[in-house]
Structure 1
Amino acid sequence: MSKAVFQLEPLTCPSCIKKIETTLNKTNGVESVKVLFNSGKVKTQFDESSIQAEELSKILTNLGYPVLSSKVS
């Protein structure tokens, strides 16, 4: 199991949290998602045999939340 933290631009509304969490939680291989509204961070735990951090980054960007940086551990 791997973890990644994605730094986004500042989030503007609480509904952004639900949109991100719902989409990523439905993504195959994603085990957990936590959106930190005030800091604009998305913390994920995922199975690297099913999905890569780069793919999660693309999903966030396609949702309209460009990823400024990411850290995978």
Structure 2
Amino acid sequence: MKKAVFGLEPLSCPTCIKKIENTVGKMDGVEAVKVLFNSNKVRAQFNEDFVQAEQIHEVITKLGYPVVSQKVS
């Protein structure tokens, strides 16, 4: 199981959080996702056999939330 933290530009509303969590959470292989509103970060836990951090990054960006940093462990 891998973990990734994606830094975002500042989020402006609670709806943004739900949109990211719901969409990323439905991706195959994503076990958990949490948006940290105060720190503008998305934490995701995922199975690399099904999804890669780059794919999660791409989905967040396509939702309209630019990713400014990414750390995978």
Query: Which TM class, normalised by the smaller chain length?
Result: over 0.9
% identity of equivalent residues = 64
Unaligned runs of 5+ in 2: none
Count of matched residue positions in the alignment of Structure 1 and Structure 2? 73
Per-residue deviation at 1:53?
Answer: 0.3
Give the Cα–Cα distance (whole angstroms) in 1 for the partners of residues 55 and 26 of structure 2: 14
What code does the residue aligned with 1:31 have? E
TM-score normalized with structure 1 length: 0.98
Per-residue deviation at 1:55?
Answer: 0.5
Compute the RMSD of aligned alpha carbons: 0.4
What code does the residue aligned with 2:45 have? Q
Aligned residue in 2 for 1:22: 22
Per-residue deviation at 1:37?
Answer: 0.4
Q: How does 1:31-50 map to 2 (within 5 A)?
A: 31-50=31-50
TM-score normalized with structure 2 length: 0.98
Give 4+ residue runs of structure 1 displaced > 3 Å after superposition. none
Per-residue deviation at 1:40?
Answer: 0.6
Higher helix share: 2
Unaligned runs of 5+ in 1: none
